[in-house]
Amino acid sequence: MEPPQCRAGANRGRRLRLLLRHLKPTAVSTSAQIYADSPPAKFCYTLDRGVLSSEQRLFYEKNGFLLIKKLVSDEDLDRIRKEFERICKKEVSISGLIVMRDVSLVKSEYIAEETSVSKIQDFMEDEELFRYCRLPQILKYVEGFTGPNIMAMHTMLINKPPDTGKMTSRHPLHQDLHYFPFRPANLIVCAWTAMEHVDRNNGCLVVLPGTHTGPLKQHDYPAWEGGINKMYHGIQDYDPSLPRVHLVMEKGDTVFFHPLLIHGSGTNRTEGFRKAISCHYASSDCDYIDVRGTSQENIENEVKQIVANRYEGITVAFKDVWRFKGRLVQGERIKL
Ligand SMILES: CC(C)CC(=O)SCCNC(=O)CCNC(=O)[C@H](O)C(C)(C)COP(=O)(O)OP(=O)(O)OC[C@H]1O[C@@H](n2cnc3c(N)ncnc32)[C@H](O)[C@@H]1OP(=O)(O)O
Ligand SMILES: Nc1ncnc2c1ncn2[C@@H]1O[C@H](COP(=O)(O)OP(=O)(O)OP(=O)(O)O)[C@@H](O)[C@H]1O
Ligand SMILES: O=C(O)CCC(=O)C(=O)O
Ligand SMILES: [Fe+2]
Ligand SMILES: [Mg+2]
C-alpha cells in the first residue's frame, strides 16, 4: 500500500557501493546479528544531512530504528519528571493536555497523584516538557530523517503503571503511522527516551526489526480478556515468526524509529511506574492526506468522537486536529 519512496539516483548508488566496500558491520548490543545481513541497495529512509554516520544510516535503513546511548542528560530528565509530578498533582493546568488513566483503574476513585496517571499526551503548551522536543542533540539526529524543516507533531510522557494483574499495562504491536494523516512516512520519525532503566521486567519497547519496509497494516482493538486502553489499536495479523527485539535502555538513552516499524511494549511486572518521553517529528514539507476509505478510517472516527465529547459537539477534521497540535521546532513551516 505504501511503497518506500526511494529516489536514489545512479550516482548515489555508485557512491554507496563504494562506501559499502569500506564498511564493516558495527556490533550493536541489542541486535548485532540483524545488521550483519546484506545491506540495502539504496538509502530510502535516511537523508544525507551530514548528521548520521554511514553505519548509523545503514543500521536504520535495514532495521527501522537507531538507538543512541545517553543522549539526554539526567538533569534534563529530572526537570521533566518534576513537571510531570506537578501536572499529576494538578499544581499546573496546561491547555490541550490529555491525561490518561489505565483502563483497569478508570472506574476507581480519583487520586491526584502520579500513581493514577498512565500517560499524558499533547504537552506542546507546557514549555518545561516541550523543552524535550527542542533539545538540540535530539533535533540534530531528527534532521537526518526529516531534513531541516521540523515539526513536533505528537508528544507523550508514558508512565506505564505496575500491571494490576489484568495485563492492561501492555501496548499491543502497532505502527504509529496508523494515527497520522500525513505523508510521506519516510519523513516522519519518533524519538523515544527512557527516563530510567527499562528492560523486559518493566515493559520496555519491543520492536520487529525491518518491518518499516512493509505496508501500513489494518489496526483494531485486540480482544484482550482484561480490557484494552482507549486507542491502543494493534495489528491482528502480523507474522509471529518475525524476530522480536526487546530494547533494554538506560536513563537518557534514546531510540529513533520509523512510523511503519511494528512495535509495542510489554507488561510492567515491577512496582515502579516505567517512564519514557517521546515526540513524533515530521518534515514540515509533508502533506496531509485524506484517510477516508483506508484502514485509518477507524482511528479518524474515534479521534473525532473524542474531540466532540471534549468540546461539546464540535466537529473538527482529522487533519485539522494535527494542524492545531503541530509546532515548528526548526526551520520553516511549509505545508503541515
Ligand atoms: C502514535 C501514537 C498516537 C500512539 C498512541 O498514542 S495510542 C494511544 C493514544 N491514546 C489517546 O490518544 C487517548 C486519548 N485519550 C483521551 O482522549 C482520554 O484519556 C479519554 C480516554 C477519552 C478519557 O478522557 P477523560 O476526559 O479522562 O474522560 P473520562 O475519565 O470521563 O472518561 C471518558 C470515558 O472514557 C473511558 N476511559 C477513560 N480512560 C480510558 C482508558 N484508558 N481506556 C479505555 N477507556 C477509557 C471512561 O471509562 C469513560 O467511559 P464511559 O464511562 O463514558 O463509558
Ligand atoms: N504472541 C503474541 N501475539 C500477539 N501479540 C504479542 C505476542 N507477543 C507479544 N505481543 C505483544 O507485544 C507486546 C510486547 O511483547 P512482550 O513479549 O515484550 O510482552 P509481554 O508478553 O507482556 O512480556 P514477557 O514476554 O516479557 O512476559 C505485548 O505486550 C503484546 O502486546
Ligand atoms: O512507551 C511505550 O509503552 C510505547 C508507547 C507507544 O508505542 C505509543 O504510544 O505509540
Ligand atoms: Fe507507538
Ligand atoms: Mg511475551
CA 150 – ligand 2 centroid, Å = 33
Can you give the C-alpha Rg of the chain in angstroms?
A: 19
Average pLDDT over residues 209-213: 97
Alpha-carbon distance of 28 to 136, in angstroms, equals 24
Q: Which ligand is nearest to the CA of 258?
A: 4
Instruction: Decide if pLDDT at 3 tops 60.
Output: no
- How many CA atoms lie within 13 Å of 157's alpha carbon, on the beta-carbon side? 27
Choice from 220, 262, 267 to test ligand 2 binding pocket (greatest atom count within 8 A of CB)? 267
Q: What residue owns the CA closest to ligand 2's atom 28?
A: 266
Q: Where are the domains of the chain?
A: 44-330
CA 179 – ligand 4 centroid, Å = 9
Choice from 122, 171, 249, 270 to test ligand 3 binding pocket (greatest atom count within 8 A of CB)? 171
CA 170 – ligand 2 centroid, Å = 8
CA 16 – ligand 4 centroid, Å = 31
Q: What is the CATH number of domain 44-330?
A: 2.60.120.620
pLDDT tens-digit profile of 99-116?
998 887 776 665 656 677
Average pLDDT over residues 9-31: 41
Residue 135 and residue 93 in contact, taking contact as beta carbons nearer than 8 Å: no
List, as own/partner pairs, every contact residues 289-298 make where C-beta atoms lie below 8 angstroms and the sequence separation is at least 24, other chains included.
Answer: 289/181, 289/182, 289/183, 289/319, 290/181, 291/181, 291/318, 295/178, 295/216, 295/217, 295/218, 295/219, 296/178, 296/179, 296/181, 296/216, 298/219, 298/220, 298/233
The C-alpha cell that represents 62 in the structure block: 535495514
pLDDT tens-digit profile of 27-74?
333 443 444 455 556 899 999 888 899 999 999 999 999 999 999 999
Instruction: Decide if pLDDT at 188 tops 70.
Output: yes
Q: Is 265 in the pocket of ligand 3 (CB under 6 A)?
A: yes
Average pLDDT over residues 179-204: 98
> Across all residues in the chain, what is the average pLDDT?
88
Alpha-carbon distance of 258 to 145, in angstroms, equals 9
Structure-derived torsion over alpha carbons of residues 76, 79, 84, 86, reported in degrees to the nearest 10: -170
Residue 62: closest CA among 258, 210, 214: 210
Q: What residue owns the CA closest to ligand 3's atom 7?
A: 264
Tell me what ipTM this predicted complex has: 0.90
Choice from 265, 270, 274 to test ligand 2 binding pocket (greatest atom count within 8 A of CB)? 265
Alpha-carbon distance of 122 to 156, in angstroms, equals 6
Q: Is 171 in the pocket of ligand 3 (CB under 6 A)?
A: yes
Which residues contact residue 124 at a Cβ distance below 8 angstroms, ignoring those fewer than 6 apart? 96, 130, 133, 152, 155, 325, 327
- Give 174's strand partners: 263
Q: Which ligand is nearest to the CA of 267?
A: 2
> What does the buried/exposed string (b/e) look like for 295-307 if buried means 16 or more CB atoms within 10 Å of the residue's CB?
bbebbbebbbeeb
- How many CA atoms lie within 13 Å of 167's alpha carbon, on the beta-carbon side? 8
DSSP for 187-200, written as a single string: GEEEEEEESS-B-T
Q: Which residue has the cell 459537539?
A: 313
Q: Which residues surround ligand 4, an ion (CB under 5 A)?
A: 176
CA 169 – ligand 5 centroid, Å = 13
Residue 6 and residue 42 in contact, taking contact as beta carbons nearer than 8 Å: yes
Q: Is 169 in the pocket of ligand 2 (CB under 6 A)?
A: no
Average pLDDT over residues 218-227: 91
126 or 48: whose pLDDT is higher? 126
Cβ-in-10-Å burial (0-12, 13-18, 19+) of 10 comes to exposed
Length of the chain: 336
Q: What residue owns the CA closest to ligand 3's atom 2?
A: 265
The confidence band for 144, taking pLDDT boundaries of 50, 70 and 90, is: very high
